[in-house]
Amino acid sequence: MSTAPARTTVGVIGAGPAGLLLARLLHRAGVDCVVLESHDRAYCEQRQRAGMLEQATVDALHAAGAGERLAREALRHDGIELRFDRRAHRLDFPGLTGGRYVWIYAQTEIVKDLIALQLKDGPPLLFDAEALAVDGLDGERARIRYRHNGAERTLTCDWIAGCDGHHGVSHAAVPGAVTYEREYPYSWLGILADAPPSSEVLVYAHSPRGFALHSMRSPTVGRLYLQVPNGTDPGDWSDTRIWDELDARFAIDADWRLTRGPITAKAVLPMRSSVTEPMRHGRLLLAGDAAHIVPPTGAKGLNLAVADVVVLADALTAAHRTGDTALLDAYSATCLDRVWRAEHFSYFMTSTLHTDPDQTAFTTRLQLAQLSRIAASRHAAAELAENYAGLPIDRPTP
C-alpha cells in the first residue's frame, strides 16, 4: 500500500473525492496510476463537507463500483423547500424536471468507501505524501516532486491529474492561466447535531436575520448552517444561541418545530467563487476544487468534481489505449461549460438568499420578488429545479 513507485501512467495529486474517484475509474479501465495525498487517512475521512448528490454523481459512483453502501444508506429527496416572508414553498423536483431526484450521502462516506476499495485492490495510494512541485509538463514525461516519510522523491508520469483542491500546488502550475474570483462578505457557521431532521427535505431560508439551511446526514443526524459575518469565532456561539438563531430564521406562520439535540461539531466556513482557465496545460489536467470553487448554497462543488473526473477518465483512457489525445484536448472546454453554469447557479442561490452587510430595503425587495416568482411560476421553479438536480454529464466520445 505505501511502497513508492517511481513511474506510472497517471500521477494523481490529492485523495479527495476527485482524485479517489478518478483513480478508481482509471483502475477499472486498466490504466495504472498512483495517488499522492498530503494528509493522513483519518483527516481525509473526517473532513466535514458536502452532503447533496446529483443523480449523475450517484450514477458515477455506481459505475466506479463504489455504490454498494450508498445504495443502502443514501436518502432520496424529491425536492427542497424555500422559506421567505414566514412562508414555506416546496419545489417538487420529479414533477418539475421530468423525474429527477437528488440524494443525501455525506462526502465523508464517499471518501471512506473509495479509500477502502483503493486500499483493498489498488492502485497505490500514499498518505502523508505531499506534492511539492510539478514539471516537465511540455515534454515527453511529466514529474511530481513529493515528500514522503521525510524523504523527497520523484514520480514520473505520462499525465498528472491535479486533484489537490484550492490550496494545492496544481492550479498555480498552469502558466498563463486566468483565475476569475469573487469572495463573499459573509460565511457559514455549520453544525452537526444528534437531532433527527425536522423536515423531509432540505430547507433554504431567507430571513431578515440572514440565511439558514437545514440539511441532514442520516435519519438521526442533522447538518445545519447559519449565515454569520466573516471572521466569526465559533466559540462565540453557544449551543443555545445557535438553536435560538436557527429557530428565528426558520420561523413560519404555520405549525413547525425545529428538533434540538446535542451539537457534536461546529465550524465557520468562508465562501468563494473561483474558476481557473484553462483546466489543462500540456501533461497537467486540473479537476475539482483545484480548478473551480463555488459557494455551497447551490450544493454543486462535489458534483462538479465528479463530473470533471468522469470526463477526464474517458480522455486519459482513450489517450492511453490509442495515443489519441482528442478528448484530452477537448477536456477543458467540455468541463468549463458545466462549471460556468454551476458558478452562475451557485452565485444566484447565494445572492438571492443571503443578507449582504450593505443590504438595503431595495435589495431585500428584489430578493423577495425573485423568490415569489419561483414560488408562483412553474417556469421559474423548473429553472431552479433543473439546475439544482443537475444535468446529465456530457461525455464526448473519440
Active site residues: 77, 204, 296, 300, 388
Task: Name the closest residue to ligand PHB (Cβ).
Answer: 51
CA distance 149 to 49: 28
Determine phi and psi for 379, rounding to 5 degrees: -65, -45
Among candidate residues 256, 290, 264, 265, the one with its CA nearest the CA of residue 276 = 290
Residue 130 binds which entry of ligand PHB, ligand RFL, none, with Cβ cut-offs from 5 to 8 Å by kind? Answer: ligand RFL
Sorted by sequence, the CB contacts under 8 Å of residue 14 that are 6+ apart come out as: 35, 36, 37, 38, 162, 163, 164, 165, 168, 170, 288, 290
Q: Is the peptide bond before 234 cis (omega within 30 degrees of 0)?
A: no
Q: Which of 215, 332, 334, 387 binds ligand PHB (CB under 6 A)?
A: 215
Euclidean distance between CA atoms 234 and 221, whole angstroms: 20
* Number of chain residues interacting with ligand RFL (CB under 6 A): 35
Q: Which does 302 bind (CB under 5 to 8 A by kind): ligand PHB, ligand RFL, none?
A: ligand RFL
Rounded least distance, CB 398 to ligand RFL, Å: 26
Q: What are phi and psi of 94, to 5 degrees?
A: -55, -40
223 binds, among ligand RFL, ligand PHB, none (CB under 5 to 8 A by kind): ligand PHB
The least distance separating ligand RFL from the CB of residue 154, rounded to whole angstroms, comes to 14
Return the ∠ at Cα 106 (arms to 20 and 112), rounded to 5°: 40
CB-based contact 33:21 (threshold 8 Å): no
DSSP-derived secondary structure letter, 133: E
Binding of residue 197 to ligand PHB (CB under 6 A): no
CB 11 within 8 A of CB 34: yes
- Say which amino acid occupies 204: Y
Q: Considering only the stretches 10-18, 229-237, 239-247, 371-379, report the one whose residues sit in contact with ligand RFL under the rule CB under 6 A.
A: 10-18
Q: Which region among 35-43, 50-58, 124-132, 235-243 touches ligand PHB (by CB under 6 A)?
A: 50-58
* 305 binding partner (options ligand RFL, ligand PHB, none; Cβ < 5 to 8 Å by kind): ligand RFL
Q: Which is nearer to ligand RFL, 183 or 324 (CB)?
A: 183
> Which residues have C-beta within 8 Å of that of residue 48, sequence separation ≥ 6?
106, 108, 190, 192, 265, 267
Does residue number 307 form part of the binding site for ligand PHB (CB under 6 A)?
no
Give the interface segment with ligand PHB, choosing from 47-55, 239-247, 315-323, 353-361 (CB under 6 A): 47-55
Q: What are phi and psi of 285, to 5 degrees?
A: -125, 130
Q: Which listed range, 82-90, 155-163, 292-300, 350-358, lies at the site for ligand PHB (CB under 6 A)?
A: 292-300
Write phi, then psi, for 76 (nearest 5 degrees): -85, 130
Partner whose footprint covers residue 338, from ligand RFL, ligand PHB, none (CB < 5 to 8 Å by kind): none
Q: Which does 202 bind (CB under 5 to 8 A by kind): ligand PHB, ligand RFL, none?
A: ligand PHB
In the complex, minimum distance from the CB of residue 304 to ligand PHB, in angstroms, rounded to a whole number: 13
Residue 315's identity, in one-letter code, is A
Is position 299 an interface residue for ligand PHB (rule: CB under 6 A)?
yes
The count of chain residues that interact with ligand PHB, using the rule CB under 6 A, is: 9
For 131, phi then psi, to 5°, come to -70, 130
User: With binding defined as CB under 6 A, does residue 214 bind ligand PHB?
Assistant: no
In residues, how long is the chain? 398
* Separation of alpha carbons 161 and 138, rounded Å: 15
> Least separation, in Å, of the C-beta of 341 and ligand PHB?
16
- State the residues that interact with ligand RFL by CB under 6 A: 13-19, 36-39, 44, 49-52, 107, 130-131, 163-165, 168-169, 190, 269, 288-289, 296, 299-303, 305
